[in-house]
Structure 1
Amino acid sequence: MDRSCSLIINDIDPGDSGLYTCRSGSGSSSDGFVYLNVLSVNRGEPVDMYYRGGDEAVLPCNRNSSSDSCSAVDWFHKRNENIDIQPEVRRGIVQSSPRSASMSLDRNCSLIINNINAEDAGWYRCSYNSDVYLNLLIISSSPPDADPTKNGDITLLCSLVRFSGFSSCPDKSLLWLNETGSELTGEGDGYKSGGQFGCVSNLTVNLQSSRRFTCQFVERNKVKVEAHYQHEGMMSSHLSLQPYFILRKLNCWNVTYV
């Protein structure tokens, strides 16, 4: 307060908005009312984050560092243009939904999503105007129940699931590589490339092959995320995300933020 009993609030944020009442005496007859409206400006460009299905995702919220809780934080999610916006977190509390068991907030009010899958991809917004796009790289096989002990072919499908849909990936942005890092195109020893259609690329390989195959998503000549596959069903990933994140280790997968 200053000398005139005006209420001074430093470094305001959306949690400070609302109705304020000033009472100068013991009664309410002389009450003064002030409505505080806070105009928030986006503090940065939308963040694109890339993960492999099954990992733990950490979506940042540009919350004011002076806030000591997440009680004013909301998180919203929209999978694509054709689906309504869903409230995932209200006033710091994860809302009840089929996905709520995998969600939580950390001390910075970042949204944590465990064991992410295609349902988790899309656009997210924190109430502090933090826009995050969660993109998932997923490798699946066709047929999914193929017996790896028998000789035969299997088709690997590499899909990037994102908010803008399966048609939004530039041509030649999904690449298949062998264990030496050479790109697999056309048909060769133990493989046949089916090419890329939108955000899906397929590669047919022999079940008895012990070679490792890698799928990469490349944007502006930079590898954003990659996953590896072997006939035993073993997969791993290396993710390249935004520059202000630190090196983390999720389960047995190394995740590097560069």
Structure 2
Amino acid sequence: MSEFRRIMMSSFLMLLLHFPAAAGQLPFFTVRAGDEATLPCIHDQDECGNTTWSYFYSPSTPNVPLIEDGQIHKAAKANSDRLRVSEKCSLVIKKVTEEDAGVYVCSQFNKSGEQQGEDSRVLLSVVSMTGHQDFDEVMLPCSVKTYGGCRHRVKWLFQGRDVDKDHRYIKTSQYLCSASVTFLTSLFSNTPRSELFTCEVTDKFTGEVHQFPFSPQSSGDATTTGTAGLLRLILVSVGLAALIITVVTVHIWTRAKGGKKQMKKNLEQNDEDEDEDEVDYENDGWASASV
């Protein structure tokens, strides 16, 4: 029965997502990873002991219970420190992550166990930003994770304006539900990037526009070395190792060559000494014969 309900809800949401006229019937929330999200339950109640919250990411994923009878469900114990129910039965999610993107369903029941009204559904989309530094170049990606495929247009703004396609120092790229901006590390070194670059996310169905100043979720600001940087580092290391081997080889060869020269010189000196001794001996014999 629960599987049938999940399939019906998924089909209903897909219809809403594909028809802009009906999209306004479903609340959409777009938040940045690391922020806090408060998802409302349409039927506000002062008593939330009979409220349940569940979650699913796509029609093919199972429905995960989060809150049951106002308490954290055992299936969500791993995230119990991030979940709570507010006074109005809204679901509060602390430190939102990409994995939190999806559809949240709120159901409320009376004391006899009968459901009060229809389910309340909320769609949560999560914006993520990171920084990648590749030696002298920085790339800032911005992407949106959501339910039912891409429904957002993403682009980077520089000082609140679109980046000129022919900009000499800044290059941008746009993809499906993501965008990136690239520039040299030597530029804008005295100004925080949060004051320069803004990721603009537009919901194509509702027309809502959200702007998020650059703020990486990882520790540090653009400190991750990319693949190209790693390759360059490996090449530099190999080159340095080759240089050291060459210097050591030349040094050994030079010492060996010098040793051979010294040995040859010693042998020649010994030969000369022997010749002199032999001459002296012969001269001594000749003189004795004459006498």
- Scaled to the shorter chain, the TM-score interval is 0.5 to 0.7
Post-superposition offset of 1:107: 0.7
Find the aligned partners of 2:208 and 2:197 in 1 and give their Cα distance. Answer: 16
Preserved CA contact (<8 Å) 2:130 2:215: no
Residue in structure 2 matching 1:201, options 160, 179, 202: 179
Query: What is the alpha-carbon distance in structure 1 between the residues aligned to residue 137 and residue 197 of structure 2?
Result: 14
Q: 2:214 aligns with which of 199, 206, 229?
A: 229
Shift of 1:139: 1.0
Q: What SS is found at the alignment partner of 2:81?
A: helix
1:11-160 alignment, distance < 5 Å: 45-65=25-45, 68-96=46-74, 97-128=77-108, 129-143=119-133, 152-160=136-144
Residue equivalent to 2:228: none
Kindly indicate whether the alpha-carbon contact (under 8 Å) linking 2:138 and 2:182 is maintained by their aligned counterparts in 1.
Answer: yes
**Matched residue SS, 1:186:** coil
Residue in 1 aligned with 2:162?
183
Greater helix fraction, Structure 1 or Structure 2: 2
Match of 1:19 in 2: none
Contact map agreement 2:56 2:104 (CA 8 A) in 1:
yes
Fraction of identical pairs, as percent: 25
SS across alignment from 2:54:
strand
Distance 1:102 1:182, change over 3 A: same
Residue identity opposite 2:161 in structure 1 = S
Q: Deviations over 1:100-132 (max 9, x none)?
A: 210000111100000101011110010041110
Asked if the contact 1:52–1:225 (Cα under 8 Å) also holds between the matched residues in 2, the reply is: no
Distance, in Å, in 2 between the alignment partners of 1:141 and 1:226 is 17
Contact 2:131/2:221 (8 A) holds in 1: no
Q: Number of matched residues?
A: 177
The alignment's TM-score, normalised by the length of structure 2, stands at 0.55
Q: Over the residues paired in the alignment, what is the CA RMSD in angstroms?
A: 2.5
Provide the secondary structure at the position in 1 that maps to 2:99. Answer: helix
More strand by share: 1
Structure 1 residue 154 displacement after superposition: 1.7
Structure 2: give runs of 5+ residues left out of the alignment. 1-23, 109-118, 223-291
CA contact (8 A) 1:156 1:203 kept: yes
- 2:151 corresponds to which residue? 169
Cα pair 1:52 1:138 within 8 Å, conserved = yes
CA distance in 2, matches of 1:105, 1:208: 47
Matched, 1:219 2:209: no
Counterparts of 2:58 and 2:165, CA distance in 1: 33
Question: 1: distance between equivalents of 2:138 and 2:83?
Answer: 34
Deviation at 1:156, TM superposition (A): 1.2
Q: Distance in 1 between matches of 2:155 and 2:29?
A: 19
Structure 1 residue 155: Cα displacement: 1.5
| Aligned 8 A contact 1:124 1:132 in 2 | yes
Name the amino acid aligned to 2:129. Answer: I
Shift in CA distance, 230/117, structure 1 to aligned 2, threshold 3 Å = closer
TM-score normalised by the chain length of structure 1:
0.62
Aligned amino acid, residue 98 of structure 1:
A
